[in-house]
Amino acid sequence: MLLLRDRERQSSSVANHRRKSIDDNALHFVPRRPGSDWGLGPPHLERLERQELLKKNDHLSVTEKKKQTVAEIRQQLRRLIPPDDRYTPIRSRVMKHLLPLVSLLAISGQISAQENEVDELQDFVKQYEETWQSHDAGLLGDFFADDSDMIVGIQPRIVGREAIAAWWNEYFSRIDSGRLLSVSIESIRLLGPDIALINVATTTGGTHSETNEILESRKARGTWVVTREGGEWKISALRAHSPVGELREAPGTDK
């Protein structure tokens, strides 16, 4: 009898132990309550939560909020685009409104480039004037293109840079070293890319190198055709004439 009771106690004890073990293990599978601070919880709950987070952060997913934003953008575009253009293909609408702007930018760029060329030509004439004061025919000849030509008054046409430099050398050899040149630009016309026409008025004067007497003032007018070669402006043709209202039969022959 006592033996039977001991066996019943042992069986009851084992059953209670198993029930307690099951209850303890079941605690690990209790779903986490929203807002709790129990951590990420069991692995399967963690995976589920991460999937939910991915859905919330998925920028490709379509949500009601995104649909509302698209509708608002379309409504704003309808206000901006004229009614006649709403059924025009997007590319045509863009080109219609963009072409005038592109044309304006192109014209602005051309004007800016022309202004730069005019500035360069003004500097070119100024450098020519300063070089003339040195009476150095070789340096002055560098302002002319290889195949350039020059006509002064009624004198014969001079062809080629070397021949022009030789003419200037002869001219400087018979005038006083105190004679200076002043060049005034009357007009600059850009005939095309890298070519321009310059009309100038010139005056030579100064003081005699030995007596300090004021030299006779001599005026002339000239036309230059200049071209740009290798990024540098050169005189391709030069014509020198008597000033308006005066007659000098042979400019350049003065002493």
Instruction: Quote the number of domains for the chain.
Output: 1
- Model pTM score: 0.56
The pair of structure tokens assigned to 4 is 């039977």
Question: Is 173 within a domain?
Answer: yes
* Residue 3 lies inside a defined structural domain of this protein: no
Q: With cut-offs at 50, 70 and 90, classify the pLDDT of residue 2.
A: very low
Instruction: Please check whether residue 219 lies inside any domain of the structure.
Output: yes
Mean of the pLDDT values across residues 202-229?
Answer: 94
Measured between its terminal Cα atoms, the distance across the chain in Å is 160
Q: What is the CATH number of the domain that holds 136?
A: 3.10.450.50
The answer as to whether 226 is a domain residue is: yes
CB 120 within 8 A of CB 227: no
Mean pLDDT score, 236-250: 77
CA distance 249 to 227: 29
pLDDT tens digits, one per residue of 107-155: 555 556 677 899 999 999 999 999 999 999 999 999 999 999 999 998 9
pLDDT of residue 9: 59
Per the domain annotation, does 254 fall within a domain? no
In the prediction, which pLDDT does 247 show? Answer: 59
Q: Please give the backbone phi and psi of residue 213, each rounded to the nearest 5 degrees, phi first.
A: -75, 150
Does 65 reside within a domain? no
Higher pLDDT pick, 90 / 219: 219
- Burial-class residue 24 by CB neighbours within 10 Å (0-12, 13-18, 19+): exposed
Task: For residue 205, give its domain range.
Answer: 113-241
Question: What pLDDT was estimated at residue 27?
Answer: 47
- Name the strand (E) or helix (H) holding 125: helix 90-132
Q: Residue 123 falls within a domain, yes or no?
A: yes
| Residue 133 located in a structural domain | yes
73 vs 65, 83, 84, CA distance in Å? 13, 16, 19
Residue for token pair 């003065």: 254
